[in-house]
């Protein structure tokens, strides 16, 4: 790995997380996945060491750091072969949104548990009929005029970790009186904490072809009754609050991708130094070495953009962080897909064996290209927002 422009604190965190990751590694995660269980031991150890809540406020049991620190945790676990996908969702999205916009009660209820790993929260925005176009989501919350409760109805798809989550932070829209009368289409995105056992809230596991302990679910919300205080933040602040969670998600997905890319590249480099079928190890052939060098450069460039995005976000620059987080997610997703592909190829037949554990990373790497926002939607964003090009849709 090329040296990073880390502070002493970040260096120490990176080294400490890497050593935890080494104790578990790819074999652990593969075994957990095979046994159809969850990485609870690693999750608990990471919690004990303060890594799960490193970004959350100290007053609520967190480490008082930011997304810069949490992304180091995920990257280093990934580089050791055991990334924890739920870090992206529980402390990064849900923890951040609640810490920034939640009421004192919501903070007390959730943040200490998210930080010490005893409670997990999933996040649901994607819908079957909206997909990449989240402006089209139709999950709708309406007020019961008698009790002030919310009634939430809609469907979500591909939601990670719902089986292990105590609640899901669901993105819906409020239905205003004028909407009901059909006068305006002005629905606003709103965030609701939906407990796992809420009546009318059901889930169905989606049969994903991805080797990962975290599973994806389709959710149905059928007039789910929630107390007034299930709403996180201001009913009218909409997009701003949502992006307070979505930007960390993008930075963390970049960390996920870079960690996996580093793991794959490392495996390939070690192999290429030893495997000898002619006179020299295969790594001496430039056709083998150069693509590995390119993969390393691409991962390092993506890492730099990820650090920039995290630094901007932690400094409170939500707008600057938005652009950088998109670019970092794009660069990291692409670098990861290419690094994994090249790593598999470098191992020849062994690249496709379970023993070397690289082939299954091909599908895992593709997740970073699609979620949480696809490669094409980021190119659209940069075309329109950064370059000011006209929109075709
Ligand atoms: C493993 C996994 C975990 C996930 N976890 C979660 C989660 O926890 N919570 C959650 O809310 N969501 C989650 N998702 C959903 C994920 O965010 C979506 O899959 C993603 O946003 C893409 O939406 P879609 O699958 O509906 O694809 P679609 O929107 O149907 O897009 C299909 C293809 O068309 C392309 N496309 C669409 N529109 C355009 C356009 N205007 N221009 C160019 N190309 C376009 C896309 O780039 C893509 O390649 C997860 C997905 C996966 C695979």
Q: Is the CB of 376 under 6 A from ligand 1?
A: yes
Atom of ligand 1 at shortest range from CA of 374: 47
Q: Is the CB of 363 under 6 A from ligand 1?
A: no
Among the four given CATH numbers 3.40.50.2300, 3.40.630.30, 2.60.40.1930, 1.10.540.10, the one describing domain 8-120: 1.10.540.10
CATH T-level assignment (fold) for domain 239-386: Butyryl-CoA Dehydrogenase, subunit A; domain 3 (1.20.140)
Which of 87, 168, 362, 370 to mutate for ligand 1's pocket (most ligand atoms within 8 Å of CB)?
370
Determine the residue of 374, 375, 380 to mutate for testing ligand 1's pocket, defined as the one with the most ligand atoms within 8 A of the Cβ atom: 374
253 Cβ closer than 6 Å to some ligand 1 atom: no
Which residues of the chain form CATH 1.10.540.10? 8-120
As annotated, the residues of the chain forming the CATH 1.20.140.10 domain(s) are 239-386
Q: How far is CA 199 from CA 141, 163, 218, 364, in A?
A: 15, 16, 16, 33
Q: Where in the chain is the domain with CATH 2.40.110.10?
A: 122-236
Taking only the tens of pLDDT, the chain with its 393 residues reads: 666 688 999 999 999 999 999 999 999 999 999 999 999 999 999 999 999 999 999 999 999 999 999 999 999 999 999 999 999 999 999 999 999 999 999 999 999 999 999 999 999 999 999 999 988 999 999 999 999 999 999 999 999 999 999 999 999 998 764 445 444 445 578 999 999 999 999 999 999 999 999 999 999 999 999 999 999 998 877 788 888 889 999 999 999 999 999 999 999 999 999 999 999 999 999 999 999 999 999 999 999 999 999 999 999 999 999 999 999 999 999 999 999 999 999 999 999 999 999 999 999 999 999 999 999 999 999 999 999 999 987
Which atom number of ligand 1 is nearest to the Cα of residue 131?
Answer: 26
CA dihedral over 217, 218, 220, 221, signed as positive or negative? positive
Pocket test for ligand 1, best of 92, 120, 130, 131 (most atoms within 8 A of CB): 131
* Spatial contact of 249 and 90, defined as CB atoms under 8 Å apart: no
Regarding the domain delimited by 122-236, which CATH topology (the fold level of the hierarchy) does it fall under? Butyryl-CoA Dehydrogenase, subunit A; domain 2 (2.40.110)
According to the 3-state scheme, what is the secondary structure of 261-296? HHHHHHHHHHHHHHCECCCCEHHHCHHHHHHHHHHH
User: Rounded distance, CA 57 to CA 349, Å?
Assistant: 48
Nearest one of 286, 308, 289, 297 to 334, comparing CA atoms: 297
Atom of ligand 1 nearest to the CA of 132: 29
The three-state secondary structure class of 117 is coil
């Amino acid at each position: 790995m090329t040296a990073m422009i880390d502070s002493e604190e970040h260096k120490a965190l990176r080294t400490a997380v890497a050593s935890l990751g080494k104790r578990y590694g790819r074999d652990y995660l593969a075994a957990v996945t095979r046994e159809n269980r969850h990485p609870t031991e690693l999750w608990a150890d990471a919690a004990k060491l303060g890594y799960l809540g490193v970004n959350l406020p100290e007053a609520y049991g967190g480490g008082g750091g930011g997304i810069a620190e949490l992304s180091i945790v995920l990257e280093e676990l990934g580089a050791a072969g055991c990334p924890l996908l739920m870090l992206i969702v529980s402390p990064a999205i849900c923890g951040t949104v609640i810490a920034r916009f939640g009421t004192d009660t919501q903070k007390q209820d959730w943040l200490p548990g998210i930080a010490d790993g005893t409670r997990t929260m999933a996040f649901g925005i994607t819908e079957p009929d909206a997909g990449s176009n989240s402006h089209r989501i139709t999950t709708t919350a309406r007020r019961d005029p008698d009790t002030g409760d919310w009634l939430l109805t809609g469907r979500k798809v591909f939601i990670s970790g719902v089986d292990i989550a105590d609640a899901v932070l669901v993105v819906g829209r409020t239905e205003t009186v004028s909407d009901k009368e059909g006068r305006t289409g002005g629905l606003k995105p709103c965030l609701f904490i939906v407990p796992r056992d809420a009546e009318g809230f059901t889930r169905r596991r989606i049969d994903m072809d991805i080797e990962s302990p975290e599973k994806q679910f389709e959710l149905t919300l059928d007039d789910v009754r929630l107390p007034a205080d299930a709403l996180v933040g201001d009913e009218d602040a909409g997009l701003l609050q949502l992006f307070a969670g979505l930007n960390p998600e993008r930075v963390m997905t970049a960390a996920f991708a870079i960690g996996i890319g580093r793991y794959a590249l490392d495996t390939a480099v070690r192999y290429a130094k030893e495997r000898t079928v002619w006179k020299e190890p295969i790594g001496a052939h430039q056709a083998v070495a150069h693509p590995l060098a390119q993969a390393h450069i691409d991962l390092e460039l993506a890492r730099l953009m990820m650090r920039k995005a995290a630094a901007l976000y932690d400094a409170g620059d939500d707008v600057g962080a938005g652009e950088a987080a998109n670019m970092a997610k794009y660069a990291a997703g692409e670098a990861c897909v290419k690094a994994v592909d090249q790593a598999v190829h470098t191992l020849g037949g062994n690249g496709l064996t379970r023993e070397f554990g690289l082939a299954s990373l091909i599908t895992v790497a593709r997740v970073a290209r699609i979620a949480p926002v696809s490669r094409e939607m980021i190119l659209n964003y940069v075309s329109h927002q950064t370059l000011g090009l006209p929109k075709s849709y």
